[in-house]
Structure 1
Amino acid sequence: MNARLPRLAAGAALFALLVATLAPFALLIVFSLRSHLSIIVDFWELPIDPLWANYRRAFEVVRTSIFHSLFVCFVTVIGAVLLGSLSGYAFARHRFPLKNTLFLLLIGVLAIPSLLTIVPLYSIIVKAGLTDSYWGLILPYISGTQLLGILLCRTFFESLPEELFEAARIDGGGELYLYSRIAVQLSVPILVTVGIVTFLSVYNDYLWPAIVLKEQHRTFTMAAVSLNTAGRQDIGLSFAGYVIGSVPTVAVILLGMKYYIDGMVAGAVKA
């Protein structure tokens, strides 16, 4: 019995963590099916008569903004994964002047809080004439999120056997062939991991879109905030919008979870 106590304690702790993790999601769904008044009057009441109209009204508000966010995320993920893997391949498989110095500078950039870069970055976007355009979001997002891809891809590409690349060179393969047919194909979990992290960070960002975009081009986070402004507060409507907006993120995580776990494990082992 004493030997089983540690396992029972670990199981109880994991169960408690699971409940603590899922409880907010359960409350989110419950509140999304209730009216604002019923939530104020009785916080813990269950939705005996679910108010499905909250989802219809919320969808009318956020549907366009969700597509805006998905477009920005799609282009950003492609750019970040492509540039991050190309740069990581160059750092891992080639020698050039100041290679280590440049890589250390990239790591140093990761340590800079993003809030410190907002003013100079906005000044650049204004001078480039990219305000109120999706490229005003996409280009800064790609430049910032590709750093994680460079770090992970460089670490993974360095661990690949040199014999694979030498054999391909003997067969007449060029650098593009080595990159696309060897490095990329062996690093799919890493690339998917970078893509998922990039998607989630871009999709959930509110501050930068609120600075760059106007109302007609707003992203999901901007629309979600507009559901619960001080002038028309409606908790049930807002939570319904959050549930609808979370569908793309849940879908991305579920579809890429296997590769994400493999990528994190591979990155930990290779590092």
Structure 2
Amino acid sequence: TLLQYASNKNASEHIVYLLEVYRLAIQSFASARPYLTTECEDVLLVLGRLVLSCFELLLSVSENELPCETWVLFLQSLQESHDALLEFGNNNLQILVHVTKEGVWKNPILLKILSQQPVETEEVNKLIAQEGPFFLQMRIKHLLKSNCIPQATALSKLCAESKEISNVSSFQQAYITCLCSILPNEDAIKEIAKVDCKEVLDIICNLESEGQDNTAFVLCTTYLTQQLQTASVYCSWELTLFWSKLQRRIDPSVDTFLERCRQFGVIAKTQQHLFCLIRVIQTEVSNLCFLC
């Protein structure tokens, strides 16, 4: 198959052949579109996934890395496929066409955000309208993977605060993840403390499910510390329970666990927090006795 063919090439050629795979796949879909029915959800789902996968590849590729003829052929083929699909009222390729013509990382508003220059709300809204939440999510994931934390922080924060995006939970999680990576920065701690506790618990659960236990633990510990210091008891039991499970998972040592509980007890300002700490200690001790 094309994918197998592409994967057999060496690293320097790999991107070129993968791009050709996506070009041919999108072109083939456009050619087959007259014979497909939109009553089947999988039809548009296939195209949507192709577009996102192709964009993910392009995020990590510089145009300078590609032979000129390869890039020109890709752009031409993409435009032709887009035109063909438009005849059936399908504009799934529109964003990809726009982004590739402009340059994947050359949008002037995006460049301002990534360079942490001031941007107007109207500019952010324009970028969101041009790219949509899925493309922006992929940009943030790529920036995080590339360890471009300040850039990922700036972009995720603006998206999380935008009223143009109906569901900002993924952007909020990305923003909090960025903040956790720069702790114990005081500004980061203050930003995390602003988030509703239930939302923090949801983010912790999501991070756990994604295998990001360390980030979940850092977030949980930071938020619990703030609660103890400010005497906030909202969702205190759930937060303490989450922390205890993560602490034991990160470091199974009972002595370490008890010492951390003691440290939390010292800064706790409410009886409720102390009772929560006592309960998790009792639970862990009971589990230990059961194992013995």
Q: Aligning the two structures, in what range does the TM-score lie when normalised by the shorter sequence?
A: under 0.3
Higher relative contact order (CA 8 A, sep 6+): 1
TM-score (norm 1): 0.24
Higher Cα radius of gyration: 2
